[in-house]
Every structure is written in C-alpha cells, then in structure tokens.
Amino acid sequence: MNLVETFLVQAEAQPDAVAIIAADGSSTTYAQLARASAVRAFAYGRAGVGAGDVVLIARGVSVELYETLLAVFRLGAVAMFPEPAAGLKGLRVAVEMVRPKAIATTGIGHLVRMLFPELRQLTVLPDFDDDAVARDPLAHLPGDAPALITFTSGSTGRPKGIVRSADFLMLQHRLLEDLRRTKPGDVDLISLPVFILSNFAAGATSVIPAGKLTRPARLDGEKLRHQVRQHRVNRIVAPPAVVARIVEGAAPMAQLEAIFTGGGPVYPNLLRAAAKAAPRAAIHAVYGSTEAEPIAHLELKDISEADWRAMAEGAGLLAGKPIAEIEIELRDHEVFVAGAHVNRGYLDPADDISTKSVRDEVLWHRTGDAARIDERGRLWLLGRREAASAELFPFAVETAALSWPGVQQAALLADEGRPRLALAGDGLNATDLSARANVLGDIAVVLVKEVPMDKRHNSKADYARLRKILS
C-alpha cells in the first residue's frame, strides 16, 4: 500500500480519532479528513487533473494543505512543493523546471500567480463546497510512479528538484518509524510537515504549531508550550530551532515522552536543555538530508561522559550509529551514502555530476558533510567539507565553543586566510574565549551580536551571510 491507502485504512479503523489539530485549536477527525480529501479529489478530477499530472501546491501548513495533498495522491497525480526559503525566484525556477499542469493555492498565492506568466497559465484548482457529494476516487499506481517533488537549496542556494516515488515515500516512512515507533493515541506537535503524512499512516494525532513555520526562530515558545499542555502532546517532532523555542526557560513538561529533532546540527547545549525541560522524555537526534533520510540516529541516554568531554574538546558532533539500511563510506573525511532510501538523482541531471557516483553498480550520494567514524562505528560530524581548512573543521570547533561560558551561537569561517570564529552570547569575555580557541588551532575570535542562520530551518549557520557581515 502507499501512504494514502494506509491513511484510508486508519480512517476506516478509527473514524472518530483526531487526525489534525490546527494552530487555532480546531480539530479534524480521520473520517472528516478522508471525506474532505475525496471531495477535493473529485473536484480536481473534474478540473482535468489525472494520474501523473503535476500539481503545484502553494499554501501554508494547515488542515486544507493536507486535504489538498491527499486529494492529489488519491488521483495518482504528483504533488510539487517549491522550496519556501528560495522565495519567488525559487518558485519560478521550480515551475520552469517541472512545468506543472495545475496549481492549488489560496489568498496571497492567487495574487502572486497573476504576476508571472508561467503561473498564470496553470489550471487553478477549485476549493469545494462543504455540502458537495463526493465520489471516492482512489488511483493505485505502480510503486515506482512519481508521487512527490520537492526542492532543496542545499549549500549552493540553487534549488534542486528531487522526485520521490510512492514506494520511496513508504520506505522512508518505515525507516523513520523504526526510530519513532508511532502508535494510535500519540499526539505529536510537528513542525516538519512531511512527518504528518507518517502520522496519518500510523493513526496518530498531529498538532500544527502556532506561528509562522517559515520563520522558526521567531515562534513564540510560550504559545508552543501552551499547545503542548492544552492538547496533551506527548511527543515533539521539530528542527533544532523550534525545539529550542519550546524548551527555552520552560518549566518541566512531565507528559512529554519523546522529542525527535533533526534537519540541522543538534548541539549538546540543546540536548541538555531538552532533557531539563522534558525530564521523562527520550531525546532523539536524527541525522539525514533531503536526499537520504535517515542516515544516523542518536539517543541522549547513549551519550557517555567521555563523549560529552570529547565534544567539548573539539572531537566533533556525535550523530550516533548509522541505521542498518544504509552504507556509509568516508572519502577524504566526506560522507558518502548508499541504500534503497537514497535518492537516485535530481530532476536536472546536471546536479548529479557533483553529488552522484557509481562504483561496482552501487549508486553513492555525496552529502558534502565531513565526519569521522569512531571505534564503535558511530558517526561524528565535522561540518561542511568545503568549509574546512586543512584539519580544522567547523562543527568540531563550534561544538566545543558552545560549551564555553556565555556562548549561545558559534560559527567558524575556516576556508580562507586565518580561521575566524564568530561567537554570540551574553557577557562574553574576548580574552578568555581567544585563549580557549587557540587550544583548538590558530583561530581569531570575533564577537558578534548574532550569527546568521539558514532560512529553511534556522538551524544551520549561514556562512555566506556571516562572511559578508565580517567583511
């Protein structure tokens, strides 16, 4: 079965269970979501959308988003999402690259559509009448049929398209569930939208965080904690920036059973803060990328005192053991991965040249991340390979720096001239910090008000912007 079929199994088994709780507190049951997606699918089919057609979905994270996505999947069509962090330019590049047939949008999306010829020519899919009588369309396509197209800016800033088949989505779901072990009755606060699809397949409830998810660092931590309390959330699935907002200064949240975070480096200070705010929760860090998710997994309880010391002394950022279903190879410190859930290539074959290689009929993906593997087979991340200088790696220095007094953010520029370590925090002592940095290498410490972060998850240092600031 594919993801939409597993969702429908859950809708039949527990129709009155809550599938989604919106940011405003309203709830939608599995039966309601199944019916709404059927009504939309019928309307989209009448508008000319069929199996294999690409539908551009441009609407915020909401119940309506998932009604739309499930409707597209019901028809055997392909859902396409532009990279939000790439803005209007990224949207236009995506449309030019894929040439979708139709667009599902609302509000400001209709205004944006009128500005650009390539968007105006798309078929606009209708919203639906709540009183409409729906048939129950469901197209079962071959497992290798395309189902989802997303874009990632990666480290280059140029959007790269990735196609996931129905089988690929189910495989990724199963591998992530080997870590999450979701069950009916779980209530998850989720700010990584693709995980809501996994929750549908598992029969759990998904709570959409309050606030603008495209700006995770600006989310209101107290509002998120209120959602946790109000809806009896027992698990959190979010990138590091969102987890930080939830746990920052929080009173212990005893009902939390698990926190899953990834999509950016999960530093020791966040792990400790999460453990303090959720004392009964299992804290999980998942390492992966858009092209290969998951790659490795780490649970807080498995970090030894020796591991904490090693991270504070510049040994790198512990990411845990690679999952059994993936092969990892280090080439000049750089992580290459192979496995069934590693994407086979990008929409534009030109993007494969620098990231894909074949050896002995095995396809390898080059992640761009530097790492080392210890004697126990665990992965220690060292940062972007191109950002390193000789044997001085960004994550090694940054992870150590985040253990220094008052340091809240750290970013190393080591790829040109004398390495510079930008530090932000409260009450920083430049002399003391310079002495600590010199233990790790010949590094110039620069105090900054704030380290700029990536626009997507706000969890990775934006080295290009930092370089401009320091220049």
Distance CA 108, CA 236 (A): 30
Torsion of CA 428, 433, 437, 438, to 10 degrees: 160
Pairwise CA distance, residues 165 & 248, whole Å: 38
Which residues, 6 or more positions from 305, have their beta carbon under 8 angstroms from its beta carbon? none
Distance CA 301, CA 268 (A): 12
CB crowding 2-15: b at 16 or more within 10 Å, else e:
bbbebbbebbeebe
Tens digits of pLDDT across the chain (471 residues): 899 999 999 999 999 999 999 999 999 999 999 999 999 999 999 999 999 999 999 888 999 999 999 999 999 999 999 887 677 887 888 888 899 999 999 888 888 888 888 888 999 999 876 556 656 788 878 889 999 999 886 545 577 899 999 999 999 999 999 999 999 999 999 998 889 999 999 999 999 999 998 888 889 999 999 999 999 999 999 999 999 999 998 899 999 999 999 989 999 999 999 999 999 999 999 999 989 999 999 999 999 999 999 999 999 999 999 999 999 999 999 999 999 999 999 998 998 998 999 999 999 999 999 999 999 999 999 998 888 887 899 999 999 999 999 999 999 998 778 899 999 999 999 999 999 999 999 999 999 999 998 877 778 888 989 999 998
Domain 388-471, CATH: 3.30.300.30
Domain residue limits, the chain: 3-14+26-167, 319-386, 388-471
Q: Which two tokens stand for residue 238?
A: 């979010």
pTM comes to 0.93
CATH topology of domain 3-14+26-167: Rossmann fold (3.40.50)
**CATH superfamily name and code, 319-386:** Luciferase; Domain 3 (2.30.38.10)
Element (H, E) at 170: helix 166-180
